[in-house]
Amino acid sequence: MSQLGMQLPGSQARRQASLNVYTGLLLVAVLALGAAVGVAWVNGVRVAPGGQPWKTHPASGPLQLK
Amino acid sequence: MHPLTKVLVVLAALLSIALAALTIAYTGNAERVRAEFQSERELRQAAQDAAARDMTSHESERTRLRSENDALQAQIAGLTSTIDNLQREGARLMADLQNAQAAGLGVQAKIDQLTATNQTLTTLIAQYRTEVTTLRSNELRYAQREIELSDRASDLSGQLEVAVENNRSLQEQLVSLRDQLASAAAGAGAGSTAAGDTIRPSFPIQARVTSVRTDATGRVLVQIDAGSNDRLRERMELSLVRGNQFLGKVIVQAVDIEESVGRVDFLSMPRTEVRQGDMVMSVIQ
């Protein structure tokens, strides 16, 4: 029943989740990923065609840098 | 699990996906840019090599052009010098031309002056010709008159010479007669020289003693500078004088063309030394 979220009387009271060290590590990882995405974005804008970092240059033809 | 942790997990997943995509795109683009960069660098190297070759050729060309420029500059300098010389020569020739023109004007003026002088001289010559013609006619007339007077004077001179000769002849005859008279008075029967043996010239003779000598018998002989060309003959009797002094007589003994030899007869006068330069003449003047 506990899997259904029901709190039956007389049952052991469920404990509330708390912040732990993994939460802190995830926060640090998120921050690092955000910084990496920013740097990759800035530099990708410089080498991507038309200033769009998601795009890639065609195999042939002239480069179209911003 | 705490909700915040869940949210962070979701964010981390999303950021990982985005980073992966950006990294892939960036890597591809970077490779493409690198290849392009390499290609451009090769092109640049080729361009630099070509530029270096061109620079080398241009340097040699520039050197050649510089040498040509130097040669042309030297040629220009030479031509400038030549032009200066030609200009100076032209100026000098121009000055000479002006001088020549001035000299020509001077010569023209002299020619005009000489022409005027020539005309004046022509007029003077014409006048002189007229005057000379008149003078010649007068001179001819005077010459004819002089000839007539000369003929008249010759006639009178001839008459005078005849009279003088007669006078001389008479004087010599007088001297001879005086000598004969003196000899007769002295009793000398025969003289050293007979009067009939000598000839008295009938023409005037005047000669000079050129040498004096004495023969073996002690007679004085004189050589005179007159001979047969002067009509002298042997046995002619001449008078020997020195200035106005009568020294004696000379009897011609030998006659040559231009000279003669005669014996000196001092008559009864004291014997005087005969010198070279004494005069011998036909009569006593």
The answer to whether B229 and B257 are in contact (CB under 8 A) is yes
Q: How far is B1 from chain A (nearest CA, A)?
A: 6
Name the more confident of B183 and B75.
B75
DSSP chain B: --HHHHHHHHHHHHHHHHHHHHHHHHHHHHHHHHHHHHHHHHHHHHHHHHHHHHHHHHHHHHHHHHHHHHHHHHHHHHHHHHHHHHHHHHHHHHHHHHHHHHHHHHHHHHHHHHHHHHHHHHHHHHHHHHHHHHHHHHHHHHHHHHHHHHHHHHHHHHHHHHHHHHHHHHHHHHHHHHHHHHHHHHT-SS-SS-GGG-B--SS--EEEEEEEEE-TTS-EEEEES--GGGT--TTBEEEEEETTEEEEEEEEEEE-SS-EEEEEE-TTSPP----TT-EEESS--
For residues B75-95, average pLDDT:
94
Q: How far is A41 from chain B (nearest CA, A)?
A: 7
Under 8 Å CB-to-CB from A45, ≥6 apart: which residues? A51, A52, A53, A66
- In this model, does residue B209 exceed pLDDT 80? yes
Cβ contact B19–A33 (<8 Å): yes
Q: Residue for token digits 């007869």?
A: B265
Where b means 16+ CB within 10 Å and e means fewer, B244-277 reads: eeebbbbbbeebeeebbbbbbbebeeeebebeee
- In this model, does residue A9 exceed pLDDT 70? no
For residues B184-189, average pLDDT:
64
Using 50, 70 and 90 to split pLDDT, how confident is the model at B285? very low
**ipTM score for this prediction:** 0.79
Residue B255, pLDDT score: 92
Domain over B199-285 is classified CATH 3.40.50.300:
no
pLDDT digits (tens, 9 = 90+) for B13-44: 999 999 999 999 999 999 998 998 999 999 99
Using 50, 70 and 90 to split pLDDT, how confident is the model at B171? confident
- In this model, does residue B6 exceed pLDDT 50? yes
- In this model, does residue B194 exceed pLDDT 80? no
- Chain A residues at the B interface, defined by Cβ less than 8 Å, are 17-20, 22-23, 26-27, 29-30, 33-34, 36-37, 40-41, 43-44, 47-49, 53-57, 63, 65
pLDDT digits (tens, 9 = 90+) for B113-144: 999 999 999 999 999 999 999 999 999 999 99
Q: Count chain A–chain B contacts defined by CB atoms under 8 A.
A: 74
Under 8 Å CB-to-CB from A17, ≥6 apart: which residues? B1, B2, B3
For residues B86-110, average pLDDT:
95
Q: Give the pTM.
A: 0.37
- In this model, does residue B192 exceed pLDDT 50? no
CB contact B28 to A (< 8 Å): yes
pLDDT digits (tens, 9 = 90+) for B137-155: 999 999 999 999 999 999 9
3-state secondary structure of A43: helix
- In this model, does residue A4 exceed pLDDT 80? no
CB contact B36 to A (< 8 Å): yes
Could you tell me what percent of chain B has a pLDDT over 70?
Answer: 95
Q: How far is A10 from chain B (nearest CA, A)?
A: 25
- In this model, does residue B67 exceed pLDDT 80? yes
Residue B95, pLDDT score: 95
